[in-house]
Amino acid sequence: MTTLVKNHVFGFETTQQVESVRQLFAKHRFNHPTILKRIEPLSYPEHRSVIAEKLGDAPLDVLIRLFMLQLECQVDDVAAIFEPMHLEEWQDAGVLEVHGDTVKAMVVLYPLYGLIVAIDNYFDGLEREDHVTGFSGTARILANITMRDPVDRLLDVGTGCGIHALFASKHAKEIVATDLNERAIAFAKFNAALNGVTNIDFRVGNLFEPVAGETFDQIVCNPPFVISPQSEYLFRDNGMDGDQFLQTILQGVTEHLNEGGIGQVIGDWVHLKDQSWKERLAQWFEGTDCDSWVIRHQTKTPEAYSKFWCSDKVDVDLNGQEFQNWLSYFSQKNIEAISLGFFTLRKCTSGQNWFRIYDHSEPITGSVGDDIKRRFEGQHYLSQKPVDLELLQAVLMLSPGAKLTKQSKVNNDRWELENVTLRLTQGLAYTCNIDQNIANLLLYFDGKHTVQDAFNAYSLENNIQNQESLQGNLQTIRSFIHFGILIPVVS
């Protein structure tokens, strides 16, 4: 039995206790698939009260009520489920509190994709500056877009409860996870121990200070990127003007990547009046020795942005002082819009670096890391093929996720083709209307022959004498590479 170093917030004393907790949860099937099935068709945490009414007295139901819904349970019920562990062990660990004949959890514990994660209680509002949040919407996006190729060293900046470091433990040999919030590091250490993850080095400190002089093969970061006039919560606010904090993080990423290393960051940036936001972002990466791909996911007006973030705490009143403070801040800073997006960077000290922007407003569901990698390589490929003659010698393959839909309408008692829709159904979704001839041409991109070969074969089979009309489609082919419809095949 090994004695653990107990953190300043909570934690079990021994590895045997942690193993007993894991066995307890496994015994009662306190896991993601089982709980989803138990509460369906309801969703957690949105339907908290309805879920509570649905639950009975089974051990799993008590665990859900206690840890996920943060509701008081009877001491005798909980003690019976926890045997052979004693409630005193959970109290000493700071996980539970006993009040007379009832028990209340001091942290939220919930299963997530094969893990069990502890975070702060958020049902009663955010009461402390160092609140440790869970798997938020932006955390989910970062997890979905993260590339999962095996790497030796990975850095998770602003680890929070440690979720991205835990996910990365499966593809990275060694992980360093940093956070300014000591309470967050305590939660992250607890979560690593609870899930039996041993390859993470947690360090307290601001951004890259704990890893000064070190470099990594991959860096991920879901920072406190919210642009606001306030500094209330460490997980949300950063205390810097506008998007200076995001710029600082991106600069740090470029400085701590190994050659060929990948950095992926999510964050908000501002649109300033009388200045191109695209030019501003491009300037951030000048001289960084990194290829840079920015995916803009959504853009909000100052009003919509303020309403969204203020509603985290209060019922928004358009005439309320807090809401007006946010609007005044954006007006004073000359900000006309705010965008959310994600950045993929690759360290490349040879050749000329490139910067590209891609708009993607569709929901990002499931793991798209492999597609992000393919799209990034496609952007790099385009940067290396600046003239049409080079593109004609390219070998391209139609994405296996491409789907074609035809819609017809009745005209003079006949079906007449109205439009042809091309969809990308794998990875980052994409939809566009195309000409039927382009749809036919795409079938010739088989990953074995050049673009010129495809033009020749299409011309021969369709009796086209002059290929100049086909070569006029090269810009369309470039856009299909950009959107992932066509994938470059590099020998």
Tens of pLDDT, residue by residue over 89-106, are 999 999 999 999 999 999
Instruction: List C-alpha distances in Å: 96 to 62, 241, 408.
Output: 14, 40, 63
pLDDT tens-place string over residues 423-462: 999 899 999 999 998 999 999 999 999 999 999 998 888 8
Dihedral angle sign, alpha carbons of residues 71, 72, 76, 78: positive
What are the sequence ranges of the domains in the chain? Answer: 15-112, 137-353, 388-488
Regarding the domain with residue range 137-353, which homologous superfamily does it belong to in the CATH classification?
Vaccinia Virus protein VP39 (3.40.50.150)
d(CA 389, CA 370): 29
pLDDT tens-place string over residues 177-203: 999 999 999 999 999 999 999 999 999
What topology does CATH give the domain 388-488?
Answer: Outer Surface Protein A; domain 3 (3.90.930)
Give the rounded distance of the alpha carbon of 300 from its chain centre: 19
Confidence of residue 13 (pLDDT cuts 50, 70, 90): confident
Residue 342 tokens read as 């994600």
Residue for token digits 């090269």? 474
Q: Please tell me if the domain spanning 137-353 has the same topology as the one spanning 388-488.
A: no
CB 61 within 8 A of CB 67: no
Q: Name the more confident of 319 and 418.
A: 418
CB 356 within 8 A of CB 278: no
Tell me the whole-structure pTM to 2 decimals: 0.90
Number of CB atoms found within 10 A of residue 5's CB: 7
pLDDT tens-place string over residues 26-80: 999 999 999 999 999 888 888 999 999 999 999 999 999 999 999 999 999 999 9
pLDDT for the residue numbered 262: 98
pLDDT for the residue numbered 226: 87
pLDDT for the residue numbered 3: 46
Strands 335-347, 257-272: pairing is: antiparallel
d(CA 205, CA 473): 53
Q: What are phi and psi of 441, to 5 degrees?
A: -65, -35
Q: Which residues contact 212 (CB under 8 A, 6 or more apart)?
A: none
* Burial of residue 132, with CB atoms counted within 10 A of its CB: 0-12 exposed, 13-18 middle, 19 or more buried: buried
Residue for token digits 């990127």? 225
Residue for token digits 């006309």? 336
